[in-house]
Structure 1
Amino acid sequence: MEESKSAGMAGKATEPKSGVGDPNGDGIIKIRALLGLVLVLAFALSSCFDFFDDDGGGKKETFQNPEEISSVNGVLDTTLVVDFAEFRIGNRRVTARVYNGSFTPPTFRVFPGDLIRIRLENLIDQMTSLHTHGLNVSPLSPGDNIFIMITPNAAFNYEIQLPNEHPEGTFYYHPHLYGLTEFQIMSGMSGTLIVEGLLDPFPQLQGIRELVMNLKDIQIDSDGQVPVEIDPGAPTHITLNGQINPRIRIRPGETQLWRIANIGADHYYPLVLEGMPMYIIARDGNRQNQLVTIPPGQTFLLPVSSRIDVLVQGGPKGTYRFRTLPFNTGPVGDSYDGATLATLDSRGSSEDPIPLPDPSQFPPLENLCN
């Protein structure tokens, strides 16, 4: 009997199924090797692509807000260094004159009544200056005096006092030196300045996500430089915060504030958002007295230096494009190419849309006719 049991057990041991129980372990080794290969392939895929996000419904967001510097105890105190820097725009490597080593310099955030102290250090081979575009401030030194000329290897300490009743909204800063302004802005010398408080009258909008969108283009010659002689209608690289067509995430029904600023040198942007409306809440640093709706697919022209603050509510799940269309300024003007500025992914769990502000919530506007 013992011999029969042993023989039976031995007989069963010599009949592996699908490699399981293989006395030599070959089947187990093959399975482990296969699992290992699967893991390696999964890792490789996640490295090569923008891997799926946590809900498995799209690619990860690549959009990035600019760095931010905020006022503290009523004072924004910072330094802007103008110098040469090397950076990438898409697949092109560029060397240009920029602020603080970046084509997309810091966004400044202040409040009405704040003092803005900016030390501007000029390390390039040209004179330069600084202007805070749209602010209602003194043009006298050491404030926003556009006639200040900072020579190479020199510096100037700006002190710009905002009045207590200053409008809340989106503004920007850039050089303002005759004959060099276009070239220096085309190189990347412009950034956003936000006066806080735009959403204060609307309790339902507190805490919503805010995106700063700097529209800037740059012309790059064959040597990786910005051409000294700018042709406004020449081929150019259109960017959003220095990025080419970044991906933006929004949940269906989610409300976001987009601060869209054309802070480039020459380009005109006929803006179009597919699939969902934009609601203009402020324009050129001034809150309106009611929302103005831009229907889905309808064009809104954003000229040079113009800014709009818009509310966007996520549409049905899907992928949408935020675009600028081709534009021609006329027979003696310039022609501008179109481009996809960003790709918008509406993904994730749906939210109940926040009620949009109605006209009764907007503070009254001053009557300038009197």
Structure 2
Amino acid sequence: MKKQILAILICSLILLSCKKNSDPGIIYTVSNVSTVAPAGIISWEDIEAGYKGSFSFPTGSEGVKDQNFSYSYGAFCMLDHTSIILEGHTYSKDVRKLILPGNLNGAEATVEGNWFEPTGNLQSTGETSNGYYRLGDLLNIDDRIYFTKYVWYNGSGEDYDSFGYLQKGTSYDNGTAHGMWNADHELAHNMRIGGYLCQAPANLKAKGVTFLAGQEGVSGAALGRWGPNLFAVKFDDTKPVGEDMTAIPLVVHSSESTMPQYWWMANKVHSAVWIETESKHGVMILFDRGYGDTWYGEANANNPPDPYGGGKGYHSSGKQLVAWVYDPVDLMKVYNNEMAPHEVEPVYEKILYDLKPGDSRGEETSYSFLHENRETRMDIKDNRLILLQASFGDQPTGYVVDL
């Protein structure tokens, strides 16, 4: 009898262990966010169900670093279901149009047209020596490509201009850049609004909103590092260059006291999309999260060390790529001044990629079709979602989802 009881206990422990390993929400979640999407909220399971396949990118001009995609940070925009514009090597600041392959089996996209600088090298109004202005993101609306820019290291916390647009000529590679402008809200600092862009939903477009913009995780002053940020921007190009555009907060974390529970200030939000289908909706953000031991200093200063290495800076012993989804109803409450922008909380979380404390590179676990824990951008048009994982030194990878 004792042997039977012991055998039952061992089997139960094995089953429990298997269940934990197959469900990252049980043991690897380091927040209080639900791993089950509420009714009517888009989930990562919906994304997986609509997954159509992947595509790759050409190597560019025979290995010339200034004109290829192998050092891209992945800023891109969809023009339609089959074409995108993607930044190349981050130091060149050029972009190029690509046509997706017919078969989404990892096949290569093809280039079209010429390399071009979509921002016209424009900088903050009246400023010519403000350091390295990095392309934040691109967004296509009608015959324009809107862009954001930010200073890659903003130790002073200066509020640089954030927005501009490229007006299409006969094609985008001979268009004309206009800008730059900033935002008028006191919370809409360049370090909170000069990064990721996404399409506005129909109900906000009806209120005059052109697009949504945010930023979180810029190096330097901690102004934009206390949690996800997103603003609704009413773009008015009749205003003189250098004046401020109307920006309405949707989600903002402007100080340490407003940080989401369990947030670490060295997390980084990569991108955001507002998704509306016939049956579900949600505002999804993707971010990388450090957990376990977290510290500032050298990568090997703690035991276990930072599995990704790197130089002096913020480090953690564990890292995850995470999707959070907000309920659009909550964001509209903020828009209508019925809720404070730091009070909005995600209603669903999915861990997509995990490297647990104590593990080394090669021991990562993927819980999705995404193959790396890297900068991951998103854009959506007519319920086709494209995700692009950048890579420092390797070619990016694109993924296509129909919702």
Shorter-chain TM-score category? under 0.3
Higher relative contact order by CA 8 Å / sep ≥ 6: 1 or 2? 2
What is the TM-score with the length of structure 1 in the denominator? Answer: 0.28
How high is the TM-score relative to the length of structure 2?
0.26
